[in-house]
Structure 1
Amino acid sequence: MSNIEDDLSEGIARRIRLERTARGWSLAELGEKSGVSKAMLSAIERGAASPTATLLVRIASAFGMTLSALIARAEQGAGGLARMSGQPVWVDPETGYVRRHLSPPTDMPLELVKVELPAGAKVGFPAASYAFIRQQVWLIEGRLDFTEGDVVHAMEAGDCLALGAPSDCVFHAPGPERAVYLVALVRSRGA
């Protein structure tokens, strides 16, 4: 892992602990609100476990924020320019999903995220993770089967999808190559 990834993992652990303690929640309370076990939350906060995308979404949702907002708050520094070398990159240890947060940390409600999903990989997110955001997905390369509730959108490079009302979603790269896509999301107030 690169130093930026190591720093971001440590920053995420610190941010989760800060968000939890700022609310006066115990690990058990955060566990109840997020559906993540107290033991796993403790391991994440200590840096003893690398959380998956699914776990981070659950935790962020419990705090009333998006995954992007949680990661942005975990970043060090601020400013209007986010150089590629300083953009946080996070890799899901379970699926190999690579997430690059492109936007500089600001109070703007717009965030841009670039994702690389390995061929054959699937990543699912519960409807709660979309409660505070509206988003569009633009497929840059590969193929992406995006399941939104009961509807499957078979996307090809160049296709752009605006997500509807919050529902459980699954991103799947059917192959033969990886799917690379840009997610543009707009946060609601308080997210």
Structure 2
Amino acid sequence: MNTIEDTLNARISARIRIERESRGWSLSELADKAGVSRGMIHKIERGDSSPTAALLGRLSGAFGISMSTLIARAEMQEGKLLRFENQPVWRDPLSHYLRRHVSPRSDLPIDLVQIELPAGSDIPMPASSYALARQLIWLQQGTLLFIEGDTQHAMRPGDCLELGPPSDCRFVNDSDSPCIYLIVRLNHSGS
């Protein structure tokens, strides 16, 4: 891992603890709400373990915010220009999915996040991880099968998909090469 990733993992761990404590929840309460073991949450908050994308989706859903919002609260820096080398990146320790926050902190109502999904990946996300957000998926490279509830969207480079009402979903790259896509997220006040 690089220094930016190490720093972001530490900030994500701290942010999870802040979100939990700001709600007055114990570790057990968060574990119950997220369907995750208390011990795992404790290890993440201490920085002894890095959360997977699926786990971050469950935790953010329990908090009533999107995964993107949870990570953005941990990673955003001041300034209107966010240079490539300073863009926060986070790597899922299980799938090696790479998330890069592209947009700088701003008053604009959107966030841009670039995802590199390795070949052979299948990443489930609960509906709660994006229940409060409006999002688009814009495929840049490779192929992506986005499964939204019972609906499957086979995407090719240049395709752009507006996510429907929140439902459990999966991001599947069943090809032999990585796919890269942008998540364009409309921010709502208070999220």
Q: CA deviation at 1:76?
A: 5.8
What is the deviation of 1:109?
3.2
Note the C-alpha offset of 1:114.
0.3
Aligned partner of 2:166: which letter? P
Tell me: CA distance 1:158–1:8, structure 2 relative to 1, closer, same or farther (3 Å). same
Matches within 5 A, 1:28-47: 28-47=28-47
For 1:104 and 1:24, how far apart are their aligned partners in 2? 30
Q: TM-score, normalised by structure 1?
A: 0.95
In the alignment, which residue of structure 2 is the partner of 1:112? 112
User: Which AA in structure 2 matches 1:74?
Assistant: A
Q: Which runs of 5+ in 2 are unaligned?
A: none
Match for residue 23 of structure 2? 23
Deviation of 1:129 after TM superposition, in Å, equals 1.2
> Equivalent residue for 1:183?
183
Q: How does 1:98-109 map to 2 (within 5 A)?
A: 98-109=98-109
- Percent of pairs with identical residues: 52
Determine the C-alpha separation between the residues in 2 that align with 1:91 and 1:99. 6
Q: Which residue of 2 aligns with 1:74?
A: 74
C-alpha change, 1:27 and 1:167, in structure 2 (3 Å) is same
- 1:41-98 alpha-carbon deviations (Å, 9 max, x no partner): 0000000111000111111122221111111111263222211111110111111111
- 1:9-158 residue pairs with structure 2 within 5 A? 9-75=9-75, 77-158=77-158
> Unaligned stretches of 5+ in structure 1?
none
Q: Kindly provide the CA deviation profile for residues 128-156 of structure 1, in whole angstroms up to 9, marking residues without a partner as x.
A: 11211011111101000110111111111
RMSD over equivalenced CA pairs, Å? 1.2
Q: Which runs of at least 4 in structure 1 moved beyond 4 Å after TM superposition? A: none
After TM superposition, the score normalised by the length of structure 2 is 0.95
Contact 2:143 2:157 (8 Å CA) reproduced: yes
Cα contact 1:97–1:115 (8 A) shared by 2: yes
For residues 75 and 118 of structure 1, the distance between their equivalents in structure 2, rounded to whole angstroms, comes to: 23
* Number of residue-to-residue matches in the alignment: 191
How far did 1:176 drift?
2.3
Give the distance between the partners of 1:74 and 1:134, measured in 2 at CA. 21
Is contact 1:64-1:190 (8 Å) kept? Answer: no
